[in-house]
Amino acid sequence: MSSTDETKLRRFFQRELTPAAEALRKRSVELIPLGPDPERESWWEPAPDGEPEFIEVGPEEFARQLEERWTAQGLPELAALAAPLMALADQLEIHQEQSEEISPFVYVMY
């Protein structure tokens, strides 16, 4: 990772993620349980009625889907991060040139 990429990540963390986390903390939102819930047998929850358990989302729709999901979950602080997060991902995307040559680190099966 380049120092420019690291700077972008730090800036995103400080300007976007930290304020969102502070707002969530003020509302006492717990995104991930910190321990087991003795009242529950399992943490697994089925998909909402009529929705598939897994879907394929293309990069062009990911920000919108993420924003809709977080909004539906009552997390406007995170919903506001969807577009900036995808913009950051676009900036940090690693583009590799495709080659006909197989990497020496790949085991080829015949």
- 5-64 residue pLDDT tens: 899 999 999 999 999 999 999 999 988 888 888 898 888 888 888 888 888 988 889 999
C-alpha–C-alpha distance, residues 96 and 92, integer Å: 13
Banded model confidence at residue 97, pLDDT cuts 50, 70, 90: confident
Each domain of the chain, given as residue ranges in start order, spans: 1-31+58-85
At residue 7, the pLDDT reads 92
C-alpha–C-alpha distance, residues 12 and 82, integer Å: 12
- Would you say 12 and 88 are in contact if contact means Cβ atoms under 8 Å apart? yes
The reported pTM is 0.72
CA distances in angstroms from 16 to 9, 107, 109, listed in the order given: 10, 42, 46
